């Protein structure tokens, strides 16, 4: 069997024939060519008969062969396309702008869905930054074009990256738990561009949107999705109360002169923020002593705990009543941070009670949210928001990638 015949079978790339083989210092180089008679335009994909000239041979990385690096070599033709002008022909094994074959990119995508940066880079012998560009192309090829169809219940969340200086807005379909849309930015304009993409008809079908209490999101949703009920995400609402508690604690620490007392109070931070059933023995003791050691902080703690307990209840009318009581209590607690939070909560009461009525929150797709945050950490070293967005789509939009497995096809020429 000739080496080229053998490699034709082993590589099994569609519409591609191996014409020569050469070993170099780096590994194996296979000369290849498309089997189609008439070349296709790299710009529009149409068949073009007029060949302009032929470029110098160039290389594409393909999957390693038994641990040896393997590259395809071909001198692409330039075509005179009626629609695009002079363009380079499309090759059957790779995207027009890529130096990697489809099979290579698909494998990188498959690995990047599940494994660490190091595994992807080491196994595939590519820099992590290059992985970002590859994922971008994989996602573009695979992301279903109808992913915005049939949306009725969605969650909008912002994601900070680059040490919290930059943001990406993410839209999750509550029904499937999948990320359906993501874009850089977190202002009203960002979210508006999602609704624009959705179009008026599909916007009218949106029944519920979970968001945080930011004015930007509220105005974008109420303008663009007239039939949608706004639900304030429980996690974000509770965070306001947690932050108020922490503000009270820090203020109390500052009033103490004795350094031992100060550090004792400083150390209560985690005990105060935790759910009571998650407390360790030591933390429990700290909290038991709190009413005696610091009555102000204890009052703040009770406010935080009772707020969470209210949101745990099931009957919207009871929750509304209890929240009104809570607001009044917080306003008159003598704790400024809580009085402030109480005003915010009073302004957004409908959307908070809507959470109890519907049970919808961004935390419902917590699997997705947690995953998105892990992905953000993995995205360090990738270039810009677009690479992060591609990685989010790759891992959270339901793309099913499989490693490339080739079977021998003996009747191929
Ligand atoms: Zn063209």
Please give the distance, rounded to the nearest whole angstrom, from the Cα atom of residue 47 to the centre of ligand 1: 8
In the prediction, which pLDDT does 190 show?
93
pLDDT band at 259 (very low <50, low <70, confident <90, very high): confident
Please give the distance, rounded to the nearest whole angstrom, from the Cα atom of residue 308 to the centre of ligand 1: 60
Please give the distance, rounded to the nearest whole angstrom, from the Cα atom of residue 399 to the centre of ligand 1: 29
Q: Tell me what the pLDDT averaged over the chain comes to.
A: 90
C-beta contacts of 162-170 below 8 A and 24+ residues apart: 166/385, 168/385, 168/388, 168/389, 168/392, 169/194, 170/372, 170/392
Taking only the tens place, the pLDDT of each residue in 338-389 is 999 999 999 999 999 999 888 887 765 556 667 777 787 777 777 788 889 9
pLDDT band at 28 (very low <50, low <70, confident <90, very high): very high
pTM given for the model: 0.85
Which residues are CB-contacts of 224 (< 8 A; sequence separation ≥ 6)? 191, 192, 195, 196, 203
In the prediction, which pLDDT does 410 show?
62
Please give the distance, rounded to the nearest whole angstrom, from the Cα atom of residue 90 to the centre of ligand 1: 10
Please give the distance, rounded to the nearest whole angstrom, from the Cα atom of residue 99 to the centre of ligand 1: 20
């Amino acid at each position: 069997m000739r080496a080229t015949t053998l490699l034709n079978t082993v590589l099994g790339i569609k519409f591609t024939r191996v014409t020569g083989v050469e070993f170099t210092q780096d590994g194996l180089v296979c000369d290849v060519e498309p089997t189609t008679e008439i070349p296709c335009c790299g710009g529009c994909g149409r068949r073009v008969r007029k060949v302009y000239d032929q470029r110098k041979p160039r290389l594409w990385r393909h999957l390693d062969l038994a641990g040896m690096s393997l590259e395809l070599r071909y001198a692409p033709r330039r075509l005179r396309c009626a629609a695009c002008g002079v363009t380079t022909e499309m090759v059957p094994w790779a995207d027009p702008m890529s130096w990697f074959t489809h099979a290579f990119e698909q494998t990188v995508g498959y690995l990047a869905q599940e494994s660490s940066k190091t595994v992807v880079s080491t196994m595939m012998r590519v820099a992590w930054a290059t992985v970002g560009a590859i994922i971008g192309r994989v996602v573009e090829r695979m992301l279903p074009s109808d992913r915005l169809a049939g949306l009725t219940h969605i969650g909008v969340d912002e994601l900070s990256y680059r040490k919290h200086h930059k943001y990406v807005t993410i839209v999750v379909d509550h029904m499937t738990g999948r990320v359906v849309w993501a874009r850089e930015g977190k202002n009203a304009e960002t979210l508006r561009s999602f609704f624009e993409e959705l179009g008026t008809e599909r916007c009218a079908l949106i029944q519920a949107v979970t968001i945080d209490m930011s004015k930007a999101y509220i105005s974008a949703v109420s303008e663009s999705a007239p039939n949608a009920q706004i639900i304030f995400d429980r996690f974000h609402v509770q965070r306001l109360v947690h932050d108020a508690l922490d503000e009270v604690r820090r203020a109390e620490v500052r009033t103490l002169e004795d350094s031992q007392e100060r550090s004792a109070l400083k150390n209560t931070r985690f005990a105060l923020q935790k759910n009571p059933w998650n407390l360790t023995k030591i933390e429990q003791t700290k909290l038991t002593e709190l009413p005696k050691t610091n009555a102000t902080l204890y009052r703040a703690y009770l406010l935080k705990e009772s707020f969470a307990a209210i949101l745990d209840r099931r009957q919207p009318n009871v929750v509304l009543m209890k929240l009104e009581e809570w607001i009044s209590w917080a306003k008159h607690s003598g704790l400024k941070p809580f009085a402030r939070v109480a005003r915010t909560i009073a302004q957004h009461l409908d959307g908070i009670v809507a959470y109890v009525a519907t049970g919808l929150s961004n935390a419902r797709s917590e699997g997705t949210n947690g995953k998105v945050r892990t992905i953000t950490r993995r995205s360090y070293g990738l270039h810009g928001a677009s690479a992060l967005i591609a990685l989010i789509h790759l891992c959270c939009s339901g793309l099913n990638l499989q490693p490339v497995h080739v079977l021998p096809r003996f009747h191929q020429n």
